[in-house]
Structure 1
Amino acid sequence: MKSLSLSNRVLILLAALLIIPAYFTPLWQISLWAPQYPEGLNMKIWIDHLSGNVDQINGVNHYIGMRHIGDEMFPEFTYLIYIIGALIGFGMIAFLIGKRWSLYSFFGLISLFGVLVLVDMYRWGYEYGHNLDPKAAIKVEGMSYQPPLIGYKELLNFLAYSGPDTGSWILIGGVGLLILAIVRDRLEKPALVQNPYTSN
């Protein structure tokens, strides 16, 4: 199996190290704007907790029958720290091994992690926006309040936004480094082997 160049191994190491800020920065954000909240309400999702205007958002959502948002509704908070740690560890091992398969395996794992996170976010948003309290003070026939997975969406008189926050943008940068390493590896020409039967 082909060995990677030193520069590509360094790119793997940098990509692994860029996962570390996920422990210290918010990974996702959900924001709401309305005439009564022109400054907006913002909720940030970290690796193990929520922050921001969570209480105010719960107060607004109560009237339309949406569930109370709290750390306890995210079981992912109990194990996400270990998954992130495993990704960092695998990246370090891939750097030490320095083989093509280790680069592709690391890229595959971190890409799979990203896809699963998006699927999980969509699942949560769907359940949160569709499973409403039938006794809610405000009911609109046929209306659901699923927040957008990524981007903007109008929900009644609110404009909702959902998207990556600082930690996820750093992780995306790490994925970009891995893609760069893969492209560089593909473009590198194999060293020419001297034919022992050819005279100089």
Structure 2
Amino acid sequence: MKKASFIMIIGSLLLLGLFKFPLWNIMLGAPQYPEPLGMNIYINGIKGVSEFDLQNIDGLNHYIGMKTIPKPEEMWEFSVFPKVILGMVILGVIIGFLGYFNKLNYKFFLGWFLLMSVLGVLGMYDFNNWLIDYGSNLDPNAIIKVTNPDGTPMSYKPPLFGFQKLLNFDVTSLPHTGGYLMFVGMFLTLAAFWLGRKASLKITTH
């Protein structure tokens, strides 16, 4: 149980990487841009991959009527997400320590993993809704208006995950370092549950 508890603590602490590294990355490549434009999405705000990327993306978006990329104070998520992540780290470490001293059952490791999974799914759902609004709620007075073959306004929603062609832009949306650290941390807490369960079964069979 001690080994499982130690892994639980390490897994929880890996989430602290989200305070330093981006959670997600969206890149836009086009023939007129030899260096692709990109934005890194952190749990507390959005930054350009290069110095003027956000400025250039906002400039392009203006022509098709998209809103400017939000500042941290313009989205409640950027103030709530850091608190949620910090709370989950503290909870995970407490569970790990209590497990180390046999003060609670290994099933709490799975409970933490499930709670984090639910929060992660809700976060992705919220992020996707923002992308839909960002790419679909366009200014009707925009300089450029592009429609689908059926005449409906074209959506410029970037993909939540993977690759998509938007006009002459190749858009790629993938997890970044912080996201991978979070996934590894969650996997470790799941591994801690299995190790704890294995150790518990050994004790009951002897």
On whether the aligned pair clears a TM of 0.5, the verdict is yes
**2:3 corresponds to:** 7
Contact 2:29–2:169 (Cα < 8 Å) also in 1:
yes
Number of aligned residue pairs: give it.
190
C-alpha distance in structure 2 between counterparts of 1:106 and 1:175, whole Å: 9
C-alpha distance in structure 1 between counterparts of 2:205 and 2:17, whole Å: 44
Gaps of 5+ in 2: 100-104
Match status 1:95 vs 2:96: yes
In structure 1, which of residues 156, 164, 177 is the aligned counterpart of residue 175 of structure 2?
Answer: 164
Deviation at 1:192, TM superposition (A): 5.2
C-alpha distance in structure 2 between counterparts of 1:27 and 1:39, whole Å: 22
Distance 1:23 1:192, change over 3 A: closer
In structure 1, which of residues 102, 110, 114 is the aligned counterpart of residue 120 of structure 2?
Answer: 114
C-alpha distance in structure 1 between counterparts of 2:88 and 2:189, whole Å: 13
Distance 1:193 1:129, change over 3 A: closer
Give % identity.
37
Gaps of 5+ in 1: 195-200
C-alpha distance in structure 2 between counterparts of 1:171 and 1:107, whole Å: 11
C-alpha distance in structure 2 between counterparts of 1:183 and 1:132, whole Å: 49
**1:42 corresponds to:** 38
Larger relative helix fraction = 2
Deviation at 1:60, TM superposition (A): 0.6
The runs of at least 4 consecutive aligned structure 1 residues that moved more than 4 Å come to none
**2:102 corresponds to:** none
**1:63 corresponds to:** 63
Deviation at 1:164, TM superposition (A): 1.0
**2:12 corresponds to:** 16
TM-score w.r.t. the length of structure 1 is 0.89
Question: What CA deviation, in whole Å up to 9, does each residue of 1:93-115 have, x standing for no partner?
Answer: 11122122321111112111211
Deviation at 1:45, TM superposition (A): 1.2
Higher Cα Rg: structure 1 or 2?
Answer: 1
Query: 3-state DSSP class of the match of 1:133?
Result: coil
Residue type of the partner of 1:70? P
Question: What CA deviation, in whole Å up to 9, does each residue of 1:138-192 have, x standing for no partner?
Answer: 1112311111000110101101111211111101110111222233344443325
**1:74 corresponds to:** 75
Query: 3-state DSSP class of the match of 2:139?
Result: coil
Question: Which deviates the most, 36-45 or 179-188?
Answer: 179-188
C-alpha distance in structure 2 between counterparts of 1:91 and 1:7, whole Å: 15
Match status 1:130 vs 2:136: yes
**1:178 corresponds to:** 189
Distance 1:193 1:135, change over 3 A: closer
Query: 3-state DSSP class of the match of 2:158?
Result: coil
TM-score w.r.t. the length of structure 2 is 0.87
